[in-house]
């Protein structure tokens, strides 16, 4: 049996809306689906505005530009995240400063932030890692105390909630990704959500080459082409129509994994804080080598031989060549190092059958030594 780690669910009106966009001839970055998606996604995120962009990395990059991050500025980010979080800071000349994650959430540990704040610190980018929101009230409080901004990287947290509030409404700017393996996808794509009307005007000008919205081909600022196409937004409109169905099926998959893997010694699960409802993005497990009998990498290799695709957790950013400074290590990032060593993502997508889940779980149990 072949079990890929992810397949997009395009079983609704995706084809219908894309064909409609093609027939309209509005295939670039203007068209009815762009406006429809931005309006609907803002409503889902609980914000006044949503801005579509070409991908999730550009969403973060655009936020850094709009906030004026530049050479000499520092931005605090968790070390356990996808590299785009740090790269967006680097693109504008800033320096990402890494902190460890909290074992209770796997997200940025608020208790580690203040020790990293310097006169050069401009902001904080928490990450809703693997769909679980960071403790945003604590992080926003620290930011307010020190006069810093917060950009919430919610690339993996579609439809998650924090203390009853939707992910995407928890910071001044919130950044999403719609990459092909995300819960809501357009293949590539991203969005920013926020409430400030002045920020909205600035972000839209920056996204659209810096053109004055009231004067065609007049560019008062240097801008960028970060726009998303009407075709991609047509896909996203169809995805949003079925968001409850998509999320519900993924939650069923998560529950089945937990039920079947709970009896297997050495298998751990993603913790869930009592104030969070995580997004069911990729099912996460941790492998205790002593209890299970082999490490994560050996298990992934064996599962691959059985046709089961998996992913390791992200490599700690402080250990990657672009970001090594010589003073980072396991002593400063113990939780990040442990999770990066032991964590594995199992196949998760709406079309995953119960038989496939059982095959994955039975294979894992049979490999325990």
Note the pLDDT tens digit of each residue in 76-102. Answer: 999 999 999 999 999 999 999 999 999
**359, two tokens:** 């095959």
- pLDDT at position 331 is 82
Nearest to 130 by CA among 281, 268, 273: 281
Mean pLDDT, the chain, integer? 97
- Cα 35 to Cα 19, 158, 233: the distances in Å are 17, 19, 9
**5, two tokens:** 């780690």
Give dist(CA 150, CA 127) in Å, integer.
Answer: 11
Q: What is the DSSP-derived secondary structure letter of residue 131?
A: G
What count of residues does the chain have? Answer: 369
Confidence of residue 328 (pLDDT cuts 50, 70, 90): low
Note the pLDDT tens digit of each residue in 193-231. Answer: 999 999 999 999 999 999 999 999 999 999 999 999 999
Helix, strand, coil percentages, rounded to 5, for the chain? 40, 15, 45
Q: Are 108 and 99 in contact (CB under 8 A)?
A: yes
DSSP labels for 242-271? THHHHHHHHHHHHHHHHHHHTTSTTEEE--
Note the pLDDT tens digit of each residue in 49-59. Answer: 999 999 999 99
Average pLDDT, stretch 357-367?
98
Note the pLDDT tens digit of each residue in 149-174. Answer: 999 999 999 999 999 999 999 999 99
Confidence of residue 324 (pLDDT cuts 50, 70, 90): confident
Interior angle at CA 61, CA 53 and CA 271, nearest 5: 90
Backbone φ and ψ of 242, nearest 5°: -110, 20
Strand partners, 175: 153, 192
Report the greatest alpha carbon distance in the chain: 69
Average pLDDT, stretch 34-51?
98
Interior angle at CA 111, CA 119 and CA 286, nearest 5: 125
**329, two tokens:** 């290590």
- pLDDT at position 59 is 98
Q: What pTM was estimated for this model as a whole?
A: 0.97
**232, two tokens:** 């991609």
Above pLDDT 90, what percent of the chain? 97
Give dist(CA 202, CA 204) in Å, integer.
Answer: 6
Q: Are 126 and 153 in contact (CB under 8 A)?
A: yes
- Domains with residue ranges and CATH for the chain: 14-241 (3.40.640.10), 243-367 (3.90.1150.10)
- pLDDT at position 329 is 65
């Amino acid at each position: 049996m072949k079990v890929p780690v992810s397949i997009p669910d395009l079983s609704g009106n995706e084809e219908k809306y894309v064909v409609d966009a093609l027939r309209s001839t509005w295939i670039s970055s203007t068209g009815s689906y762009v406006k429809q998606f931005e309006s609907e996604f803002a409503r889902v995120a609980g914000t006044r505005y949503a801005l579509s962009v070409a991908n999730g990395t550009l969403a973060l990059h655009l936020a850094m530009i709009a906030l004026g991050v530049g050479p000499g500025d520092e931005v605090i980010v968790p070390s356990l995240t996808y590299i785009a979080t740090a790269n967006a800071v680097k693109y504008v000349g800033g320096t990402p400063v890494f902190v460890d994650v909290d074992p209770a959430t796997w997200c940025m540990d608020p208790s580690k932030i203040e020790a990293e704040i310097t006169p050069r610190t401009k902001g904080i980018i928490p990450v809703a890692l693997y769909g679980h929101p960071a403790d945003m009230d604590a992080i926003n409080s620290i930011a307010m105390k020190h006069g810093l901004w917060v950009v919430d990287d919610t690339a993996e947290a579609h439809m998650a909630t924090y203390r009853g509030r939707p992910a995407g409404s928890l910071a001044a700017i919130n950044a999403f990704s719609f990459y092909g393996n995300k819960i809501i996808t357009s293949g590539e794509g991203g969005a920013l959500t926020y409430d400030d009307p002045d920020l909205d005007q600035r972000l839209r000008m920056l996204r659209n080459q810096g053109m004055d919205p009231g004067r065609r081909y007049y560019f008062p600022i240097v801008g960028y082409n970060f726009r998303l196409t009407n075709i991609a937004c047509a896909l996203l409109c169809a995805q949003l129509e079925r968001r409850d169905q998509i999320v519900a099926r993924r939650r069923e998959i998560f529950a089945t994994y937990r039920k079947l893997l709970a009896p297997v010694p050495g298998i751990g699960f993603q913790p869930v804080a009592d104030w969070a409802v995580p997004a069911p993005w990729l099912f996460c497990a941790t492998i205790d080598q002593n209890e299970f009998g082999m490490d994560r990498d050996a298990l992934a290799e064996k599962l691959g031989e059985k046709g089961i695709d998996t992913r390791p957790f992200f490599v700690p950013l402080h250990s990657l060549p672009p970001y090594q400074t010589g003073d980072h290590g396991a002593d400063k990032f113990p939780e990040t190092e442990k999770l990066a060593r032991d964590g594995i993502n199992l196949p998760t997508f709406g079309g995953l059958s119960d038989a496939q889940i059982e095959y994955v779980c039975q294979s894992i149990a049979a490999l325990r030594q």
